[in-house]
């Protein structure tokens, strides 16, 4: 049976870390929609070039266009047994489009669709964001408080220099929380009503959250 999973939760709730780990655990593709969109733009595909026009003007990419990019990716051979989708859907309209995509992809096949909500305290999220650092060379992510490097400012993995994203400030983080609550949080009710939402306590260490996640998906 196909495994099709999406992850919901506010910024810095730990989705990216756990989805990557879970994808490797099940041997499923980890489809990060942000990276996917950037790749389309870099490859100068038709969809990518249209999306770039919106992004360059500071506008949101239309849901139908994002849906077309997602559909193309989920139609590839490595998604035959399912996928783990990170960063999508982010609105009710995108959720409806994903449902249409799955209906077409699955056809007569059985699929187990799960929406997993990362429930975490907002004060913890703020601490995660302002203390987050990433390697300028390999992209590995650390946290000065919860997951520090062995040598301050130096990546454990490749020895690269750690940097802080410009938007990893408390002010911008609170704005992102407000956007999330307004646009994405309604998906919790949407998937609850469909009976596919699973609540995950995302407070605690990476390994603690991982153990809880496995109990839900296995």
Catalytic amino acids? Answer: 15, 90, 132, 165, 176
DSSP line for 10-46: -TTSSHHHHHHHHHHHHT--EEEHHHHHHHHHHTT-H
| CB environment 125-156: b (16+ within 10 A), e (fewer) | bbbbbbbbbbbeeeeeebbbeebebeeeeebe
The 3-state secondary structure of 47-79 reads: HHHHHHHHHHCCCCCCHHHHHHHHHHHHCCHHH
| Token duo for residue 202 | 């995302």
Using CA atoms, how far apart are residues 82 and 97, in angstroms rounded to an integer? 17
Nearest to 118 by CA among 38, 206, 48, 4: 206
Strands 132-135 and 162-163: antiparallel
């Amino acid at each position: 049976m196909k495994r099709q999973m999406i992850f919901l939760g506010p910024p810095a709730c730990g989705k990216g870390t756990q989805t990557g780990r879970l994808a490797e655990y099940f041997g499923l593709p980890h489809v990060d929609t942000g990276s996917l969109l950037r790749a389309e733009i870099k490859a100068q595909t038709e969809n990518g070039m249209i999306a770039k026009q919106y992004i360059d003007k500071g506008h949101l990419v239309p849901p139908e266009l994002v849906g077309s990019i997602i559909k193309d990716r989920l139609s590839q051979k490595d998604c035959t047994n399912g996928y783990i989708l990170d960063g999508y859907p982010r609105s009710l309209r995108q959720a409806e489009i994903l449902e249409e995509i799955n209906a077409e992809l699955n056809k007569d096949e059985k699929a187990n669709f799960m929406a997993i909500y990362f429930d975490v305290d907002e004060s913890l999220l703020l601490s995660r964001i302002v203390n987050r650092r990433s390697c300028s060379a390999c992209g590995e992510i650390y946290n000065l408080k919860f997951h520090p490097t062995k040598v301050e400012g130096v990546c454990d993995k490749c020895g690269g220099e750690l940097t802080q994203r410009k938007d990893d400030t408390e002010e911008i983080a609170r704005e992102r929380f407000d956007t999330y609550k307004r646009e994405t949080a309604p998906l919790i009710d949407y998937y609850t009503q469909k009976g596919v939402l699973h609540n995950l306590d995302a407070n605690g260490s990476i390994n603690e959250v991982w153990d809880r996640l496995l109990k839900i998906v296995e």
